[in-house]
Amino acid sequence: MAAILGNKIKMAIFGQSHAEAIGVVIYGIKAGEKIDTEKLQKFMERRAPGRDEFSTPRKEADEVIFVSGLIDGLTCGAPICAMIKNNNIKKNDYDDLKDIPRPGHSDFAAFMKFGDDFDSSGGGQFSGRMTAPMCIAGGIAKQLLETKGVEVSAAIDEIAGFQGDKMYDAMREAKKEEDSVGGIISCLIHGVKPGLGDAMFDGIEGSIARGIFGIPAVKGIEFGSGFSGSRLKGSENNDEFISDGDKIITKTNKHGGILGGISSGMPISFRVAVKPTPSIGKMQNSVNTKTKENVKMTVRGRHDPCIVPRAVPVVEAVAAFVIYDMMMSE
């Protein structure tokens, strides 16, 4: 199923961008696990819209409402159902585009799959809004991983090809021009012991990649030295082993903490490519799917000039959920 991730621990996402609510059902977490709901809410605020100059003006509190599975901060063994109400919806911003697919969006492909019944308002189930439920499940997984000594953290690597202050200049310029920019997010996972994962289709890379590609706007992922490693010699890309007390580690970490799909004990590292926000104010070409006529169109509504900053906690959340599921499945 498209909206379900996990093996022993599963998350099932529900809702659409402009539905009454969005949410997640989490299966498989045993009874007696402590969940700090205040800490989870603070994590959610990192992704929430309308918090800074580079975020969409759409303001949503993103308050997590637990429907089941949690009693006085402890899991009870039942599926955890949590939801977020959509309070700030402007469906009329999309009335003129019902039959006109927006360039860069899922509109056309979804129309070809689902037909006229597809809910394109705000992007429907393909919207970045759906990353909020991912953060609920992943935020819970992060807390549970911390009790096992595993820490997941992500950060902006670059935006529009720039690092440092120039990243923010690029976002401001894009906003001024009613355009958008993309970027790269780096993620590190510390504390995973050697031996997690498996060969071929059950490897850590494949499992993380499947989850990460569920995040709207993600177009690429690389682990360790990634694509740059393909330009090195074996003698340059190999990580030599050394003894460190009672542990065996590597002098470098170009393998990104994963060898043969299995954790080596070194930090797991990967980078994620995020495309520019497809919703832009510039005039673009499209086609009316009803009349088949070429048309000029522009996207109204409230959108981010760059979604990379808000995607950082989503990458953390999905990575944490995948690793927690893998640990619980072994």
In a domain, 60, yes or no: no
pLDDT for the residue 262:
99
**Residue 23 backbone dihedrals phi, psi, to 5 degrees:** 180, -170
pLDDT for the residue 17:
78
The region, left, alpha or beta by phi > 0 then psi within -120 to 50, assigned to residue 257 is left
In a domain, 63, yes or no: no
In a domain, 96, yes or no: yes
Determine how many CB atoms are found less than 10 A away from the CB of residue 134. 23
pLDDT for the residue 301:
66
CA distance 316 to 330: 22
Length, in residues, of the chain: 330
- Under 8 Å between Cβ of 186 and 154: yes
Amino acid identity for residue 159 in this structure = I
In a domain, 148, yes or no: yes
CA distance 184 to 161: 9
In a domain, 54, yes or no: no
Report the CATH number at residue 282: 3.60.150.10
List, for the chain, all residue ranges whose pLDDT scores fall below the cut of 50.
none
Contacts of 150 (CB under 8 A, 6+ apart): 189, 190, 191, 192, 323, 327
Place of tokens 């760059």: 306
Structure tokens at 214: 């569920």
CA distance 116 to 218: 26
Q: What share of the chain is helix, strand, coil (3-state, %, to 5)?
A: 35, 25, 40
- Under 8 Å between Cβ of 171 and 303: no
CA distance 119 to 219: 23
pLDDT for the residue 210:
98
pLDDT tens digits for 179-191?
999 999 999 999 9
The region, left, alpha or beta by phi > 0 then psi within -120 to 50, assigned to residue 303 is beta
Domain count, the chain: 1
DSSP calls for 146-213:
HTTT-EEEEEEEEETTB-THHHHHHHHHHHHTT----EEEEEEEE-PPTT-B-SGGGSHHHHHHHHHT
**What domain range is 197 assigned to?**
90-329
Secondary structure in 3-state letters for 6-63: CCCCEEEEEECCCCCEEEEEEECCCCCCECCHHHHHHHHHHHCCCCCCCCCCCCCCCC
In a domain, 26, yes or no: no
- pTM, two decimals, is 0.93
pLDDT for the residue 95:
66
In a domain, 298, yes or no: yes
In a domain, 39, yes or no: no
